[in-house]
A = this chain, B = another copy of it.
Amino acid sequence: MAGEVRQLDDRKLAVLRAIVQDYVGTEEPVGSKALVDRHNLGVSPATVRNDMAALEEEGYIHQPHTSAGRIPTDKGYRLFVDKLAEVKPMSAPERRAIRHFLDGAVDLDDVVARTVRLLAQLTRQVAVVQYPSLSRSTVRHIELVALAPAKVMLVLITNTGRVEQRLVDCPGTVGETLLADLRARVNAGAAGQRLPDVPGLLDELPALFEAADRPTVTTVLATLFETLAEQSEERIMLAGTANLTRFGHDFPLTIQPVLEALEEQVVLLRLLGETADAGMTVRIGREIAYEGLNSTSVVSVGYGSGDESVAKLGVIGPTRMDYPGTMGAVRAVARYVGQILAES
């Protein structure tokens, strides 16, 4: 275990930290002289050069050309994030601003919309917020509405305030009494339950109805289960794409695949889905499975109304990002959204 890290004494780590900080600030390769000038390392440039050579040897930094400064590699950022950086807490005014900004929300859509904008603004990067997921939330109410003799509108309302509706084509005419009966029984069985648990709880239901009504009951239930299970309905919202213009100098090349990725809800969902349930997840450059995002980093975290997370949110930016600041913003926003959800 000590094998690889043995090489890196404290000063080398300090040098790496300084390189990351400077590079993030200036966006330019950083040389030995600039380093000792801007951080008081207490040693000479020559010494720093030796350390840099060692760091490069180990693959933490790299120089674009001979006689240019050094740039951190993905591995360098990784070490920085894991060992060298602290999450930077938001300042009190910032926290107040966050709270104030989120407090005006009127419904779930609005909460998510405000959150994603806020996050984009705070981090000056691209923000992604997943809607509170169906699978984690519970049923608040299920409504059945007769629209036509053989058409029923199914409306599912969750505790997170989300509403899903489906049109059900029934095999035959549906009487109002049957509908009322079904509605009562479905709600009795499902209300307050977690969505994935509902099918198991209701599978005896058709047996309680008269044979003639059973086809209708099973049809409605099938649609309900479908709605419950439907992963594809997981929605996300994003904001801050204009911040992509600050990505780098070599423009169109970097930005195009990212824009493409951002349009693929599936990609974003998988991205957020890989977030660890507890704690913050940071993925850097090549660590990201999706190719188009290989030159970006993703900072994501779960948020939720209680102590468990119902959805994820995060930020996508260049690997050269301010990790402590970004992580601080992401964590703070996630907390406040959680509180807002808990209150409503």
Copies in the complex: 2
Can you pick out 30 interface pairs between chain A and chain B where the beta carbons lie within 8 Å of each other?
Answer: A107-B166, A107-B167, A140-B147, A141-B147, A141-B153, A143-B143, A143-B145, A143-B155, A145-B157, A155-B155, A155-B157, A155-B163, A157-B165, A161-B165, A163-B165, A240-B263, A241-B241, A241-B262, A241-B263, A242-B256, A242-B259, A242-B260, A242-B263, A244-B259, A245-B252, A245-B255, A245-B256, A245-B259, A251-B251, A251-B252
- Chain B residues with CB under 8 Å of A251's CB are 251-252
Closest to A162 in B: B165
Distance of A157 Cα from B151 Cα, bound (Å): 14
Report if A239 contacts B (CB, 8 A): yes
- Those 4 A-B pairs whose CB atoms lie nearest each other, nearest first: A242-B259, A245-B256, A242-B260, A163-B165
Distance of A245 Cα from B256 Cα, bound (Å): 6
Distance of A262 Cα from B251 Cα, bound (Å): 19
| A interface size (C-beta, 8 A) | 28
Closest to A164 in B: B163
Binding site for B on A (CB under 8 A): 107, 140-141, 143, 145, 147, 153, 155, 157, 161, 163, 165-167, 239-242, 244-245, 251-252, 255-256, 259-260, 262-263
Closest to A153 in B: B157
Distance of A263 Cα from B161 Cα, bound (Å): 25
